[in-house]
Amino acid sequence: MQISQAEMEKRIVRYGELKPCRTAFIDAHTPGSNQKENFTIIGGGVSESADQHVHIKDTPGFNIGAAGQPPKCRNSLHSHRTAEVFFVLKGRWRFFWGRWGNAGEVVLEEGDIINIPTGIFRGFENIGTDYGMIMAILGGDDAGGGVIWAPQVIEDAKDHGLVLGENGKLYDSKKGQSLPDGVKPMPLLTDEELKAFPETPVRDVVRDYVARYWDLMALAGKEPARVIGENALLRDKPGFEVELLTRGSIPETAYAIDHHEVLMVMRGHWRLTWDGGESILAPGDTCAVPPGLKHALAPSMTGEASLYRVTSTADKAGPTWKA
């Protein structure tokens, strides 16, 4: 298989060229959440806005996105039916969960990764001192069909001009929009339905769903660190696997795999070469390597170098897997 330089560049999304959407979700006008930016890198993600720019539309069985927020800005409580994995690219972030967001919390630093269990309400906040960015991996081609919001998030949004239709689309009264004929507002979850959303203990989340960057760097000293997968550090079968690679654990020769591979650079600059060209990947860049393409990776500069590698599997996207 051969691919031209121009074609490969279309499969690389540069961090500096990311296009944000500031009205992606129902809480986009709610004070405390109204400065966040949403990015859809591969696939449409779970954005509820027609204004969302999608960099690469074809999905490899999962979606790649990102969230950027200034200090003290938070993402409101919501839930997903498929995997939602984050790693911190820039800043310091607090992840919290539960019906009211007080069941537990954990703070993640740059490079740390969390595989948030499906079926729990979760939110996150930039608690650093500068603009922060977290990169996301969402299970399934359709990312689970959308977001499930805690009832108070929908109620709060009404006071600030945003209404979510039962069709999963947002309507902004500040722009003169209203629900179309025949489209009802998204119904609030009932008390009975809310009983299905657990208050997961902190010990379970920290033990089973969080991995620290410098631990992974140690594990990846001589071979790729298996981060998420059936037999990985964080055991799950979300329809993809995640590894961390360093300069000491990259394949020694060019290789090709028969399924989709997405490279997400964490630290350093990496030279990607293939039969047809080469390109340099920088922190925050995302590259979708097509199945069957023989390619090689190597740090292009001295110093710390790491990247997360996401590969598709035959597992069906769905609830968090229990061994």
The model's pLDDT over 157-167, given as tens digits with 9 standing for 90+, comes to 988 989 999 98
- pLDDT 10s digits, 221-239: 999 999 999 999 999 999 9
Average pLDDT score over the chain: 95
Over the stretch 100-153, which tens digit does the pLDDT of each residue have?
A: 999 999 999 999 999 999 999 999 999 999 999 999 999 999 887 789 999 999
Could you read off the pLDDT of 82-112 as tens digits, one per residue?
Answer: 999 999 999 999 999 999 999 999 999 999 9
Amino acid (one-letter) located at 69: Q
- Copy the structure tokens of residue 176: 């003169």
52 phi and psi, to 5 degrees? Answer: -70, 125
The answer, yes or no, to whether residue 297 has pLDDT greater than 70, is: yes
The percent of residues in the chain predicted with pLDDT above 70, rounded, is 100
287 pLDDT band, cuts 50/70/90, is very high
Share of the chain above pLDDT 90, in %: 87
Confidence of residue 323 (pLDDT cuts 50, 70, 90): low
The 10s digit of each residue's pLDDT in 173-188 is 888 888 999 999 999 9
Q: Are 228 and 234 in contact (CB under 8 A)?
A: yes
Helix/strand/coil for 203 = helix
**Predicted local confidence at residue 212, as pLDDT:** 98
Domains of the chain and any CATH numbers: 18-210 (2.60.120.10), 214-312 (2.60.120.10)
Q: What is the mean pLDDT of residues 296-312?
A: 97
- Nearest alpha carbon to residue 144 among 65, 232, 74, 56: 65
The answer to whether residue 57 scores a pLDDT higher than 90 is yes
Question: At residue 266, does pLDDT exceed 90?
Answer: yes
Q: What pLDDT sits at residue 146?
A: 83
> Amino acid identity of 136?
A
Q: Judging by beta carbons within 10 Å of its beta carbon (0-12, 13-18, 19+), is residue 129 exposed, middle or buried?
A: exposed
Per-residue pLDDT at 45 exceeds 90 = no
pLDDT for the residue numbered 46: 84
Let me know: does 32 contact 75? Beta carbons within 8 Å: no
DSSP assignment string, 99-147: TTS-SEEEEE-TT-EEEEPTTS-EEEEE-SSS-EEEEEEEESTTGGGS-
What is the model's pLDDT at position 174?
A: 83
Classify residue 194 by its DSSP letter: H
